[in-house]
Amino acid sequence: AAAAAAADDNTTPEPPLVVSEEQSMPAAADSSSDAALVLDPAATNILLQIGDVSRTEGPPGEVGTARFVVTLSRAASSRVQVQFHTEGLTATSDYAVGSARDFVPALGRLDFYPGETNKTIQVLVLGDDVVEADESFVVYLSNVVSERDSIYLMKHRGVGTIRNDDDCLVSLQNRIVGEGNGASQLSVDLWLSNPVDVELFVSVTERTTAGAVAGVDYVFEAQVLQLQPLEQRRTLLVTVLGDRFCEADESFTLVLGALTFGPGGTLTTRAVRIAPSAGGLITLVNDDPCQVYLEETQLVLNEGDEGELRPVTAVLRLASPLEIDLTLAVDALDGTAKLNTDYQTLERYTYVRVPHGEERAEAIVLLLGNDEYQPQRDFELQIQVFGPVYLGNWVLQAHITIKDDDCGKVNADACNQRCTNLLEAGKPWSMHYPLVVQDALGCPVCSCQPCDKNDVLKIKLKVCDKVCGGHQEVYMTMDERNCPVDCGCVSQV
């Protein structure tokens, strides 16, 4: 089946035989003029020879054909028989295991009948994906037999060359991995796109691509990987140094360098070369939480005594420390409590710097204490976080409630003055008197009640304000509420 030409028998071929001139030619005439014919086989003999063949091997699974042409220099007058068989040179065919690697061995016999001058021997060539040097095998002709013609075996050896048509691209695996905490080993595979039939050495180094720092984020020693013949994968190790920092993803690249071949290798970097996109990008993904939060978002504090500045501290926490400084902008938003009446901010607290590595910061405002009972008040403390992009945008708010701690204390003079201050010039009917009442919590509170408008108007209409004129001083008689009930004149001395 290996040879296209039919063979008369399947006997095992004899070792290659080159028919000598004496065996191929008839006896020469006994004359000096005929001696020259012996030196020129073509003069009296039919020349038999086999040509050489060259072809590509093809991809794996493909079976190709190498066609060797065997020719007679002219047609014979009788049948000519010649045996043939194949042998490997650098190409191999394995009889022992029953499977050929590069070509299928062939043997048989060719028969040239009168008038025929060309026959073809077909040898099956097996494709593969192995990167290798060109390989060769030989088809030998032997045992030429002719009934009447003198045959000279001029070229008994046809060389078949199997040209390599495979190449190999060397690349590294890209890896994306969480950095973790502490040191860990990361495996990275080196790949050959096709196997190589010789030992291969590949050098690997590294370079920082984006953010990752050798010795801080990872450890890698430059090395040379050794791949055995036909080996397509080799694994190298990188030490990843994890941490607890909130940070951006970082990366570095493993770089392929020189390619060298082991003993006996005849390949060049044209057949085995580094892939255009060689890979080796190692991305260390941050797996530490990038979060900012307040320990408490609801704060309730007593206002304190008159003249006291009581600090209110909102504690900000970072889930993970940063490798860079962080800035906080602190602002207060009035509610029922008012800036500079119930609380105040200090300029030095407007911006707060959080040093790198810290996980805690404080935003502070001051409550303004007093000794007068006032209802419960509140305001908002707003904290805006300015940090790196990977931290994100954060605006945090704490609701602060000011509780009065003066329950049971009403300053009578202050209460009376507050009510007096409600009197508008020229409007005696706007007079108020102080009254202590209880609020919903049962605490006394100063309340200014309006005097009876009708009473005030009656006083205004009395003649005393007219009779007194400019030479007497008008006086008012006040009741226990401090509201006017009568008026009169006092002579000036």
Series of mean pLDDT values for 10-residue runs along the chain (493 residues): 38 36 35 44 84 95 95 95 95 63 94 96 94 94 94 96 94 95 95 92 88 92 93 96 92 93 72 91 93 92 87 90 87 89 72 85 87 84 87 90 78 79 69 78 78 70 62 71 75 59
Number of residues assigned to the chain: 493
Q: How far apart are CA 199 and CA 202, in angstroms?
A: 10
pLDDT at 36: 40
Tokens found for residue 276:
């255009």
Q: How far apart are the first and last CA of the chain?
A: 155
Distance CA 188, CA 192 (A): 13
Handedness of CA 404, 406, 409, 414 (dihedral sign): negative
With H, G, I as helix, E, B as strand and everything else as coil, classify residue 181: coil
Structure tokens at 346: 């200090």
pLDDT value at residue 3: 42
Identify whether the C-beta of residue 93 lies closer than 8 Å to the C-beta of residue 136.
no
Pairing, β 175-178 against β 200-210: unpaired
CA distance 387 to 324: 8
Q: Give yes or no for a contact between 78 and 148, defined as CB atoms under 8 angstroms apart.
A: yes
Determine the pLDDT at residue 344.
Answer: 86
The answer to whether 160 touches 29, Cβ cutoff 8 Å, is: no
CA 451 from centroid of its chain's CA atoms? 79
Please report the pLDDT score of residue 287 as a whole number. 93
- pTM here is 0.65
Alpha-carbon span 360 to 281, nearest angstrom: 35
Bridge-partner residues for 186, per DSSP? 238
Tell me, what's the pLDDT at 213?
Answer: 92
Residue 27 is predicted with a pLDDT of 35
pLDDT the model gives residue 331: 86
Number of continuous H segments (helices) and E segments (strands) in the chain: 6, 34
Spatial contact of 133 and 121, defined as CB atoms under 8 Å apart? no
Residue 14: what pLDDT? 38
